[in-house]
Chains A and B, each alone.
Chain A
Amino acid sequence: MTVSRNFIIGLGLTATLVTIAVLSLIWTPYDPEVIGGSLRAGPSWSHWLGTDWAGRDVASRLMTGARTSIGVGVVAVAIGMIAGVGLGVIAAAHRNWVDDVGMRAADVVFAFPAIISALLITTIFGPGAINAIIAIGIFNIPVFARVSRNAALTVWAHDYVLAGLAMGKGRLRLTVDHILPNIAPPLIVQATIQFGLAILAEAALSFLGVGVQPPAPSWGQMLFDSQTMMAIAPWLAIFPGLAIAFAVLGFNLLGDGLRDMLDPRL
């Protein structure tokens, strides 16, 4: 198994992101919600990435925002994975009405642009981090359902699985013993890529004002606040923008790298 350059870069970026997010639990340069001091100051020794319109430290808010992004990513991907993989392997195991209904439902969810539907969900149930997570999570379900079903169908065709079936082993038993372990690699790759997309979706929802609510910091909301201040305080847009770009890039490269390493078909 060779380690690709993508994997190294991706791992580096995501590891940095996770480290920063974990670090923000115990330490940030300043309290990210305390206002005052110098307003809208550019990057300096005391505020590495400057301060925002209310005098809050941008670096501290980015660190706390990383926590938000990762939290949203983890939970949203977990929701999508548990529900989606469950649906996918059951569909693959039985090939009956569960397959038909589940996959057509996935088609329906796929047919809506993710952001529009997430907006719909947060408009109905109210804005906030929890609803944003649920909305993004729901959008991960069909992705994982598709991937796991297709991968599981390939495994089901193998002789040893059919042998197990012939020997009277239950379909559920076979799924747990043989299917799931064998479809794990593509799922891990998919999860990594979905993680990046979830971070992007959370930023978009917060930018639109239906995600994480102020004063809790999030990258999308920092970008929204910076829109009209670009001319006077460009750092307010640049740093959250870079953070989102590097986070998504990191997870995508990591996903690519993992695929190169794990997926035997490539």
Chain B
Amino acid sequence: MKMPVNVCLILSFLMFGLVSGVVAPSAVAQVRDDVVLGMALEPPHLDPTTGNAAAIDEVVYANIFQGLTRIDRTGAVQPQLATSWVISDDGLDYTFTLKSGVTFHDGASFDSRDVVFSLERARGEASTNGQKGLFAAIETVVALDPETVRVTLSRPQGSFLFNMGWGDAVIVSSQSAETNKTNPIGTGPFKFVSWTPGDRVDLAARDPEAPIQRATFRFIAEPAAQQAAILAGDIDGFANFSAPESVILFERDGRFDVVIGSTEGETILSTNNLSPPFDDIRVRQAVAHAIDRVELIEAAQFGLGTPIGSHFAPHHPAYIDLTGTYALDLDRARALLAEAGLTDGFSATLKLPPPAYARRGGEIIAAQLARIGIELELIPVEWATWLVQVFRGKDYDLTIVAHTEPLDIGIYNNEGYYFQYRSEALAAVLADLDRTAIADQRFALMGEAQRIVAEDAVNGYLFQLPKIGIWRTGLTGLWENSPIQANDLTEVRWQ
């Protein structure tokens, strides 16, 4: 009997299905030992001790480079290259005992000379470190023996061990320090393999038994492209996904885990405090009264984000809720503008860097301020332009940006910082804070600092940027929150 062609086809499809059904599970049963993570921004180079860009730390921190201490996923300080330390009673001497048997990726052994070299390099005159303030309290660094280092501070500093855990304070070798920008050599569990500019950085595990042998960071700026790359399986996930609107899509899709955490990013309407009329506190207060954070978060962030009333992360124990300092009150806002002699409102510019939180947030802020007669011209700018014009040139009225360094309220006291804000009261509080090591007193002073910048309405305080983690189900060990800029791969594995 001759079989009709279509029956043959159906049969062959069925057989093919059976065969692939049998083969497929055994093929995937093998646990993967590689991971491909996406990042929105590409690092300008790979040396965390000579650059400010968060993207550098997001590739190298804890993976390639290690410090004396490290910040863990909860934000707590843990031992790293220093296994233990003793602090003198006056809080000035820190004696670190170093881990033994550690080598750099190029084979050079790690000892106390590398610590002395790294810290002296970071705090020296010629230092190009992005966070020189971390090392400001250090007076001397002395190698007592190959496995012991004593750091003496000029004044007690409560945050010293935390500071030593930053990416900017990692330990580098004197032999490779100069070339770390393109060929980073550290002591971490992953070795640098290659960097394809515009595309990816590849890392490989040093330990052949490690659950992740090959790790890749791919750089994808466009939210739509990020979404497509995850859906297509080109990348396994994003620790910090750019588009909050995609969360619903991924939550519906059983192939992915969606983990919403918190970042250290206080998203603020940065205000040029020297640019009229924003030099008048009543105008800044009026702006603060006109901002509707709930509406902003709902529209621009699709509901993801925690309202903040000052420059402080809500998950920090010293946080105080100051969102009520200038509660939403359009009548009060108009009255303040009238007091400042601006009954008819005024116009100003709002420069917006590329992230969606800024571009969308800007449209919402413009619409909200229009309600009290402030007309904003929206000027979209690229990051390079933003750095030159706004951050360095201070040529702006308003801008929206997330400040992602942890515990960074100290920037309000930086000479020549782009807010152009000065406050003697704040300077005094921060000086006290620097001298205080007792946690309760530190928290009280941090609260005081939060209150001062909130009441002076230095900037418009909008929301804490969420960390939107999206990755394939089965991938575990990525951080839920980002207490520090990092994609720590040391606990990552497939299940």
A54 touching B299, Cβ below 8 Å: yes
B235 to chain A minimum Cβ distance, whole angstroms, is 16
Bits for B219-242, please: 1 = Cβ < 8 Å to A, else 0: 000011001000000000000000
Interface centre among B299, B302, B368 (most CB of A within 10 A): B299
Query: Contacts A231-B248, A232-B245 given: A213-B380 contact, CB under 8 Å?
Result: yes
A228 touching B367, Cβ below 8 Å: no
Judge if A19 is at the interface, Cβ distance under 8 Å. no
A131 to chain B minimum Cβ distance, whole angstroms, is 14
B252, B295, B378: which contacts A215 (Cβ < 8 A)? Answer: B378
Query: Contacts A35-B363, A35-B367 given: A53-B380 contact, CB under 8 Å?
Result: no
Bound Cα distance from A127 to B224, whole angstroms: 22
Bits for B249-282, please: 1 = Cβ < 8 Å to A, else 0: 1001000000000000000000000000000000
Query: Contacts A53-B299, A54-B363, A215-B367 given: A127-B380 contact, CB under 8 Å?
Result: yes
Judge if B336 is at the interface, Cβ distance under 8 Å. no
Judge if B444 is at the interface, Cβ distance under 8 Å. no
A36, A214, A229: which contacts B295 (Cβ < 8 A)? Answer: A36
A215 touching B246, Cβ below 8 Å: no
Judge if B200 is at the interface, Cβ distance under 8 Å. no
A222 to chain B minimum Cβ distance, whole angstroms, is 13
Judge if B364 is at the interface, Cβ distance under 8 Å. yes
Bits for A227-255, please: 1 = Cβ < 8 Å to B, else 0: 11101100000000000000000000000
A39, A209, A227, A229: which contacts B380 (Cβ < 8 A)? Answer: A209
Judge if B41 is at the interface, Cβ distance under 8 Å. no
Bits for A175-188, please: 1 = Cβ < 8 Å to B, else 0: 00000000000000
A37 to chain B minimum Cβ distance, whole angstroms, is 10
Q: Which of B131-184 contact A (CB under 8 A)?
A: none
Bound Cα distance from A228 to B227, whole angstroms: 7
B363 touching A55, Cβ below 8 Å: no
A55, A213, A214, A229: which contacts B245 (Cβ < 8 A)? Answer: A229
Query: Contacts A35-B299, A36-B295 given: A214-B243 contact, CB under 8 Å?
Result: no
A7 to chain B minimum Cβ distance, whole angstroms, is 39
Judge if A23 is at the interface, Cβ distance under 8 Å. no
Instruction: Give chain B's interface residue range (CB within 8 Å of chain A).
Output: 20 to 34
Bits for A29-64, please: 1 = Cβ < 8 Å to B, else 0: 000011110010000000000000111000000000
Total A-B residue contacts, Cβ distance less than 8 Å: 53
A215 touching B366, Cβ below 8 Å: yes
Classify the secondary structure of B's interface with A. helix
Classify the secondary structure of A's interface with B. loop
Bound Cα distance from A209 to B382, whole angstroms: 11
A35, A53, A214, A227: which contacts B224 (Cβ < 8 A)? Answer: A227
Bound Cα distance from A209 to B356, whole angstroms: 13
Give the residues in chain B near A209, CB-CB below 8 Å: 380
B248 touching A232, Cβ below 8 Å: yes
Among residues of B, the one whose C-beta sits closest to the C-beta of A233 is: B245
Bound Cα distance from A55 to B302, whole angstroms: 12
Among residues of A, the one whose C-beta sits closest to the C-beta of B249 is: A231
Bound Cα distance from A228 to B229, whole angstroms: 12
A232 touching B364, Cβ below 8 Å: no
A53 touching B378, Cβ below 8 Å: no
Bits for A80-109, please: 1 = Cβ < 8 Å to B, else 0: 000000000000000000000000000000
Bound Cα distance from A213 to B352, whole angstroms: 12
Bound Cα distance from A165 to B5, whole angstroms: 77
A214 touching B378, Cβ below 8 Å: yes
Give the residues in chain B near A39, CB-CB below 8 Å: 298-299
Give the residues in chain A near B73, CB-CB below 8 Å: none
A228 touching B246, Cβ below 8 Å: yes
Give the residues in chain B near A34, CB-CB below 8 Å: 367
A228 touching B363, Cβ below 8 Å: no
Bits for B275-314, please: 1 = Cβ < 8 Å to A, else 0: 0000000000000000000010011101000000000000
Q: Which of B297-344 contact A (CB under 8 A)?
A: 298-300, 302
A175 to chain B minimum Cβ distance, whole angstroms, is 46
A33 touching B367, Cβ below 8 Å: yes
The 5 lowest CB-CB distance pairs between A and B, nearest first, are A227-B224, A231-B249, A35-B367, A228-B243, A54-B299
**Given A35-B368, A231-B248, 9 further pairs, Cβ under 8 A:** A34-B367, A36-B367, A213-B378, A213-B380, A215-B366, A215-B367, A227-B224, A231-B249, A231-B252
Taking beta carbons and an 8 Å cutoff, which residues of A are in contact with B?
33-36, 39, 53-55, 127, 209, 213-215, 227-229, 231-232
13 A-B residue pairings within 8 Å (CB atoms): A35-B364, A36-B295, A39-B299, A54-B300, A209-B380, A215-B367, A227-B223, A227-B224, A228-B224, A228-B227, A231-B246, A231-B249, A232-B249
